[in-house]
Amino acid sequence: MTGDISRETLTIHREDFWATTSNKQLNFVQHIFSSLKMHGRAAVVLPDNVLFEGGAGETVRRELLKQVDLHTILRLPTGRFYARGVKANVLFFDRKPPQPDGQANTQRVWFCDLRTNQHFTLKARPLQHADLDEFVRLYRADNRLTREGTFSEANPQGRWRSYDASELLARDKASLDLFWLKDDSLSDSDNLPAPEVIASEIIEDLQAALDQLKELEGDLQPGSNSAA
């Protein structure tokens, strides 16, 4: 396995990668796959852009659905793992041998939306272990074949539902950026946080943006090789 870094474009070239890109998150998930042993299991935290970005992003998603059993995606509240304002997800997948007929290893992907109509803050309302209890119960680590969705016509606010892999592959750019819950904050101003909370979060978002710009500036400095 060989690696080559083009410092001018901050692009990673690796023979074992599906796509050549400067997107660090896409390179990260490709590296995880390459490092995973056959039948190995992974849970990877990735920002939203990995789920919908075109070009190399589409290539990585299609190969991921084909090469592994991408069985679960947990959509996290904003700012849990990345900078404030950045939305993240946990992708759970198992590496599988190639199918003899060339079909995808992923048959069905289960999504848990822990984001819509959920409001957490870093201090006043931090995410607690109990907030994940429903997901842990529905995940059914002992036997994933017994999973049952909570979303239905009778329960349109159910946070747990699945999609057939063929349906996902047929979506534009094989996007995994899915929404099905009604966001109450878009139609009901009574659900908005207090003004001081909104102001505080705006400040945190602006600070996060400045931090990301500083990181980018550092990457662009001559001699920088932080392109992983």
99 found inside a domain: yes
The tens digit of pLDDT for each residue in 27-79 reads 999 999 999 999 999 999 999 999 999 999 999 999 999 999 999 999 998 76
The helix (run of H) or strand (run of E) holding residue 210 is helix 195-219
List the CATH number of the domain containing 214.
3.40.50.150
**pLDDT for 11 beyond 60:** yes
Whether residue 62 lies inside any domain: the answer is yes
How many other β-carbons are positioned within 10 Å of the β-carbon of residue 32?
Answer: 19
Residue 228 within any structural domain of the chain: no
What residue numbers bound the domain in which 59 lies?
Answer: 3-219
| Model pTM score | 0.77
Task: Indicate the Cα dihedral angle 137, 141, 147, 149, nearest 10°.
Answer: 40
Q: Mean pLDDT score of the chain, rounded to an integer?
A: 84
Calpha distance 62→146 (Å, rounded): 26
Residue 76 included in any domain = yes
In a domain, 226, yes or no: no
Q: For residue 93, tell me if it sits in a domain.
A: yes
Q: How many domains does the chain have?
A: 1
Report the alpha-carbon distance of residue 27 to residue 60 in Å, rounded.
9
**Cα 41 to the center of its chain, rounded Å:** 16
Considering all CA atoms of the chain, what is the largest pairwise distance in Å, rounded to the nearest integer? 58
State pLDDT tens for residues 108-132: 999 999 999 887 766 667 788 999 9
Whether 45 maps to a domain, the answer reads yes
Residue 84 Cα distances to 108, 120, 147, 177, 183, angstroms: 31, 11, 33, 20, 20
